[in-house]
């Protein structure tokens, strides 16, 4: 079949032509229950239930789903498939299984995660269990270590650069929406609450913040440390009790490790700003993420010796110093990208549903102002951070006020 955006009936026909997938579903095609459940910004998503099994089908559209006037190449599905295949050996069980990729239809067929729910919805509905962030910390450590120059010969890293450097359409979204638009007047930025206009004017006219944002742009584009998920927010994670899965790797690219960390933590933090009584819960998740990430990464570094970076053996004290410096630079990147994500989710094109939890317009304004102020502080202070506690201290004024 050549590319056509799917409907439930077209998908039923397509699935009926693919034996292995039809067998997973069981029964006959007319008995399959197919529901469109698209709710992200970009793609079509269908859930299919059969007699004996179920599937999830995700297809690229030739435009942004929520903004049909914004054209978007279809190849993002290919990069998502590649990302899933590349990291699967390192993150055992923390992603859905990919069953099939159709390069003509730009269609992924994968494990249907039920009764899992999207972490952002679970947080909003107050159903997220404690401790999920330790698992995300492990996921990030395993995926970035496995695809780094430290754990594998440089030829493999070069191959990853080749395989993912073409993901320019989605990287362009990140460059514009996260790293640029909030800091300049731009038609894509939605009209802000009037009370936020002064804060935004300041962000768009402060040379000191522009210097720091410029440096983060440069790090994002030049520090090809590992294969990143590239859009690791609470909408890119599904869970059911302790079964946590990372989904939606279509923004994958080689980049600075702190980018995945910063995006994830900023989205958690916004939830605490919107729902102040959950501040302690969120603060514990933020700490759990970092401690899990850092300890798993150290453990993996201890085991690895196959990379062309760090290939020479060192006395233990020098090796520890090398790891400390590595984690330290990840922490600084994490803080900077955390600040950028806080700001773009608050005043940029793709905002987050967590703010709808604020009980009054006044409460929402306070939450948004705190996000902008904290983002501003983090972007400027990131380079001066030496410990995770110092990072937490920059968030502390908000946590204390909540
Ligand atoms: C036009 S896409 C907007 C946002 O949605 C995705 O989930 C990414 O976060 C992107 O920045
Ligand atoms: Mg997504």
- Give the mutation target among 171, 177, 230, 233 for probing the ligand 1 site: most ligand atoms within 8 A of CB: 177
Is there an atom of ligand 1 within 6 Å of 41 CB? yes
User: What confidence score (pLDDT) does residue 55 get?
Assistant: 98
Q: What is the mean pLDDT of residues 120-139?
A: 98
Quick: pLDDT tens for 31-68: 999 999 999 999 999 999 999 999 999 999 999 999 99
Quick: pLDDT tens for 65-123: 999 999 999 999 999 999 999 999 999 999 999 999 999 999 999 999 999 999 999 99
Q: What is the mean pLDDT of residues 349-368?
A: 97
| Cis? peptide before 115, omega within 30° of 0 | yes
| Residue ID of nearest Cα to ligand 1 atom 6 | 41
Task: Please give the sequence-ordered ranges of beta strands (E in DSSP) within 120-270, or none if there are none.
Answer: 226-228, 237-240, 243-246, 253-255
- For 35, phi and psi rounded to 5 degrees? -125, 135
Ligand 1: which atom is nearest the Cα of residue 42? 2
User: What confidence score (pLDDT) does residue 402 get?
Assistant: 67
Is pLDDT at 310 greater than 90 in this prediction?
Answer: yes
Q: Please answer whether residues 256 and 333 qualify as being in contact, where contact means their C-beta atoms are separated by less than 8 angstroms.
A: yes
Quick: pLDDT tens for 378-387: 999 999 999 9
Q: Positive or negative, the Cα torsion across 191, 195, 196, 197? A: positive
Among candidate residues 322, 292, 299, the one with its CA nearest the CA of residue 310: 322
Q: Scan for tokens 């502390």, then name that residue.
A: 396
User: Which of the ligands is closest to the CA of residue 38?
Assistant: 2
- Give the mutation target among 350, 352, 353 for probing the ligand 1 site: most ligand atoms within 8 A of CB: 350
Range list for CATH 3.30.200.20 in the chain: 8-111
Q: Please answer whether residues 302 and 319 qualify as being in contact, where contact means their C-beta atoms are separated by less than 8 angstroms.
A: no
Range list for CATH 3.90.1200.10 in the chain: 117-401
- Give the mutation target among 119, 173, 179 for probing the ligand 1 site: most ligand atoms within 8 A of CB: 173
Is pLDDT at 397 greater than 90 in this prediction?
Answer: no
What architecture is domain 117-401? Alpha-Beta Complex (3.90)
SS3 189: coil
User: Which of the ligands is closest to the CA of residue 231?
Assistant: 1
Q: What is the mean pLDDT of residues 18-28?
A: 98
User: Which of the ligands is closest to the CA of residue 181?
Assistant: 1
DSSP code for 385 = -
Angstrom distance (rounded) from CA 114 to CA 277: 29
String of b and e for 12-23 (b: at least 16 CB within 10 Å)? bebbeeeeebbe
With pLDDT > 90 as the criterion, what percentage of the chain qualifies?
Answer: 97
CATH class of 8-111: alpha beta
| Residue ID of nearest Cα to ligand 1 atom 3 | 350
Ligand 1: which atom is nearest the Cα of residue 173? 11
Quick: pLDDT tens for 180-222: 999 999 999 999 999 999 999 999 999 999 999 999 999 999 9
| Residue ID of nearest Cα to ligand 1 atom 8 | 231
User: What confidence score (pLDDT) does residue 370 get?
Assistant: 96
Q: Positive or negative, the Cα torsion across 126, 375, 358, 276? A: positive
């Amino acid at each position: 079949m050549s590319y056509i955006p799917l409907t439930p009936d077209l998908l039923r026909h397509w699935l009926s032509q693919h034996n292995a997938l039809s067998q997973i579903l069981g029964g006959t095609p007319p008995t399959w229950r197919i529901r469109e459940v698209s709710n992200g910004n970009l793609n079509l998503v269908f859930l299919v239930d059969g007699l004996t099994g179920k599937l999830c089908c995700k297809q690229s559209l030739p435009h942004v789903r929520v903004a049909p006037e914004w054209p978007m190449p279809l190849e993002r599905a290919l990069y998502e498939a590649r990302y899933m295949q590349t990291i699967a050996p390192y993150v055992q069980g923390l992603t859905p299984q990919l069953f099939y990729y159709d390069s003509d239809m730009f269609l992924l067929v994968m494990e249907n995660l039920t009764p899992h729910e999207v972490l952002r919805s679970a947080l909003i509905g107050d159903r997220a269990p404690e401790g999920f962030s330790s698992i995300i910390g492990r996921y990030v450590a395993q995926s970035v270590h496995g695809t780094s120059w430290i754990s594998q010969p440089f030829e493999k890293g070069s191959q990853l650069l080749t395989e993912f450097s073409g993901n320019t359409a989605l990287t362009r979204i990140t460059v514009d929406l996260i790293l640029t638009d909030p800091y300049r007047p731009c038609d894509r930025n939605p009209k802000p609450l009037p009370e936020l206009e002064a804060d935004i004017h300041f962000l768009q006219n402060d040379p000191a913040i522009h210097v720091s944002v410029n440096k983060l742009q440069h790090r994002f584009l030049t520090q090809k440390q590992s294969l990143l998920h590239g859009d690791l927010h609470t909408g890119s994670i599904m869970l059911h009790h302790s079964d946590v899965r990372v989904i939606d790797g279509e923004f994958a690219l080689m980049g600075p490790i702190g980018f995945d960390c910063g995006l994830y933590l900023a989205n958690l933090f916004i939830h605490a700003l919107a729902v102040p009584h959950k501040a302690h819960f969120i603060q514990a998740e933020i700490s759990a993420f970092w401690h899990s990430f850092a300890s798993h990464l150290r453990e993996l570094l201890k085991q690895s010796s196959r990379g062309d970076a760090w290939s020479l053996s060192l006395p233990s004290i020098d090796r520890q110093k090398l790891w400390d410096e590595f984690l330290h630079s990840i922490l600084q990147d994490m803080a900077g990208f955390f600040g950028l994500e806080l700001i773009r989710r608050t005043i940029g094109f793709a905002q987050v549903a967590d703010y709808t939890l604020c009980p009054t317009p006044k409460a929402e304004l306070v939450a948004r102002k705190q996000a902008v102020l904290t983002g501003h502080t983090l972007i400027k202070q990131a380079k001066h951070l030496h410990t995770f506690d110092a990072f937490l201290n920059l968030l502390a004024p908000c946590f204390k006020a909540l």
